[in-house]
Amino acid sequence: MSKRFPGVDAVTDVSLDVFAGEVHVLAGENGAGKSTLMKILAQVDAPTSGGIEIDGVPVVHRGPAHARRLGVSMVHQEFALAPDLTVAENLFLGHEPGRLGWIRRRVERARARRLLRRVGLDVRETRTVRTLSTAQQQRVEIAKALAVDTGLLVLDEPTASLTEQESAELFTVLRSLTATGTAVCYISHRLDEIFTIGDRVTVLRDGSVVTTRHVGELDEAALVRSMVGRDVENLYPRVFREPGPVRLRVRGLERAEAVRGVDLSVRAGEILGLAGLIGAGRTELARAVFGAEPATAGRLTLDGRDLRVRSPREAMAAGIGYLTEDRKGDGLALQLGVDVNITLGAPPTRGGLIDLRAERDEAEHYRDRLGIRTPRVNSPVRLLSGGNQQKVVLARVLRAGAGVLFVDEPGRGMDVAAKSEMFRQLDELASEGRAIVLISSYLPELMNMCDRVLVLRAGRVAGELDRAEFSERRLVALATGAGGGDE
């Protein structure tokens, strides 16, 4: 299989076998061709050359609906759900059960209940999708894929926004599917889950297959070496230093039911972690401090001065920055250039007009400083890999002069090398005296990068651990309310 886009070979002469009842993992750096290859399987994209056989029968490319009829379903990293429709309506959107042009809603709801039980999701089929958590929406996506007779299920970074517990529950669902003969193609950047859920792994690099091996034949070092073509010595390059004075202090912060009386402080040169299950209030806390969803009560103190924040503009002017979890939806203007995205909100001007030369010079400065891989700074940001898009958002925050930085799931959808580079940038920012709050659902990131971790549960602080106290058991216990300590 090969796929060429204008100016780039995304996939080059790739051959791949996927067996019934196996989880076949696709691994590789951002831009290695994993998602492109899976989109070809799901007939979202047409191949430039090569072909597909299902059960030995050649397949003609006729689009995603045709692929679903052949039993191939894909769950994309960005969900494709209609948020204002019910769960049942989403599951059968486009192929509703009906007769003579009328939709049979009772039949639809009954079938939806059976699908929800199959994926282990205990919600009413009449609930609106908008009211579901990220983890619940993920299962709705899988149930939607299974609404047709699926023989091959393709999952692109399904655990990117899930906690450890929610990921484990998803793996249980996948094992039940493979036990009945369903084949699963699974794209992931998380090394530990590759070894947990995978049967075989195919590594892609620069659009070509490097190797296909049984998971048991590899260790993490060998897998990383295959993915990046070199050894990555330290995924979490943190140098721990004595923090300075408190830069941001939050007291009694309230935001509707999501954040309830939270106190926290973060010091210069410190990285404070925020842990908790999906819905614990971590992102809502960050957005309240940043003014995206203004707090209803509480007090903020920045560098010893009281601060009132009612909008992101006020937060940025005061020196508070926020890297959103949803960089494509909330953080970037995808059709605009890298340069415009970096200066967005406060472009350089001269005589009342945007100074295009100054804008380009500033963008090139941050491109070089952060290692943003783009040949031209006016290239549309949508063409960049996930890791480079994240760096563009970081560049805009740094350009605004943020001394306190909230970073929400910075490693989401990023490969090993890009994660290592992002964490190196965070360590460098901390060394400059910035105060950083790191929100992550992936416990190894928190335990390796943070000086302290604050655990939230149901909008409240469930506990705080210093670095010497870190353990996955203690963090999970605080997050779930299953007791304290190592119980």
- Phi-psi domain of 307 (left: phi exceeds 0; alpha: psi -120 through 50; beta: other): beta
Q: Shortest CA distance to 287 belongs to which of 317, 340, 325, 249? A: 325
Give the DSSP per-residue string, 207-256.
TEEEEEEEGGG--HHHHHHHHHSS----SS--------SEEEEEEEEEET
- Supply the Cα-derived Rg of the chain in whole angstroms: 23
Burial of 282 (0-12, 13-18, 19+ CB in 10 A): buried
List C-alpha distances in Å: 38 to 148, 150, 153, 323: 18, 15, 10, 29
How many CB atoms within 10 Å of residue 166? 20
How many CB atoms within 10 Å of residue 134? 17
Position 337 scores a pLDDT of 92
pLDDT digits (tens, 9 = 90+) for 135-152: 788 889 888 888 888 899
User: pLDDT tens, position by position, for the chain (487 residues)?
Assistant: 999 877 678 899 999 999 999 999 999 877 788 888 988 999 999 999 999 999 999 999 999 889 988 999 888 877 789 999 999 999 998 888 888 888 999 999 999 999 998 888 889 999 999 988 777 888 898 888 888 888 999 988 888 767 777 788 889 888 988 999 999 999 987 888 899 999 999 999 888 999 999 999 988 888 888 887 766 556 788 899 999 999 999 999 999 888 999 999 999 999 999 998 877 899 999 999 999 988 999 999 999 999 999 999 899 899 999 988 777 778 888 899 999 999 987 889 998 899 999 999 999 998 888 888 887 899 898 888 777 888 898 888 888 888 999 999 887 767 677 778 888 889 999 999 999 999 998 888 899 999 999 999 989 999 999 999 998 889 888 988 875 444 4
Interatomic CA distance for residues 55 and 70, integer angstroms: 10
- Rounded to two decimals, the pTM is 0.67
Position 485 scores a pLDDT of 44
Cβ distance 457 to 464 under 8 Å? no
Interatomic CA distance for residues 132 and 183, integer angstroms: 27
Sorted by where each starts, the structural domains of the chain and their CATH numbers stand as: 3-228 (3.40.50.300), 246-480 (3.40.50.300)
How many CB atoms within 10 Å of residue 324? 20
List C-alpha distances in Å: 420 to 206, 415, 423: 19, 9, 5
How many CB atoms within 10 Å of residue 188? 22
Q: 59 is written with which tokens? A: 């397949």
Position 232 scores a pLDDT of 59
Which runs of E-coded beta strand occur in 15-174?
Answer: 23-27, 53-54, 57-58, 72-75, 98-99, 102-103, 152-156
pLDDT digits (tens, 9 = 90+) for 71-116: 998 888 777 899 999 999 999 988 888 888 889 999 999 999 999 9
Interatomic CA distance for residues 471 and 475, integer angstroms: 6
Neighbouring residues of 428: CB distance < 8 A, sequence distance ≥ 6: none
| DSSP 8-state symbol, 479 | H
Interatomic CA distance for residues 231 and 320, integer angstroms: 36
